[in-house]
Amino acid sequence: MSDKKDIAKSSRAQIDAFLNKVAAIPVVKKAGERGRLVFALDATASREATWDQACHIQAEMFRETGALGGLDIQLVYYRGFEEFFASTWVSSSEALLKTMTAVSCLGGYTQIGKVL
């Protein structure tokens, strides 16, 4: 016998109502506090085709965090044969973009366990 419970699917109207409710919640930020995020990426060869696009999207997202009090990001990635890299903490989109554009993708196996 299965222990799984039947989960009712939400209607589109219920989802929209939930999203509107979330959007109405004010952002609370404490003065002087910055968020921190470890940004882990797969830099194996299979990701090479979309790497440049990802760099620009992440820089734009990072730029938007300024209005929320700022964010410090540490870029970590794996690639090649057992290669794993962790950057210093950066606090600007320009620094993040500079770090990300210096990365070249290499063939290798997924090493996500090192990040976790």
Chunked into runs of 10 residues, the chain (116 residues) has average pLDDT values of 65 91 80 77 84 80 72 87 89 82 84 77
Q: Give residue 30's pLDDT.
A: 66
Q: Give residue 109's pLDDT.
A: 80
Q: Give residue 68's pLDDT.
A: 67
Q: Give residue 13's pLDDT.
A: 92
Q: Give residue 17's pLDDT.
A: 93
Q: Is residue 66 part of a domain?
A: yes
Q: Is residue 11 part of a domain?
A: no
| Rounded distance between C-alpha atoms, residue 99 and residue 89, angstroms | 11
Give me the domain span that covers residue 109.
32-115
Q: Is residue 16 part of a domain?
A: no
Q: Is residue 36 part of a domain?
A: yes
Q: Is residue 7 part of a domain?
A: no
Q: Is residue 38 part of a domain?
A: yes
Query: Does the pTM exceed 0.95?
Result: no
Q: Give residue 47's pLDDT.
A: 82
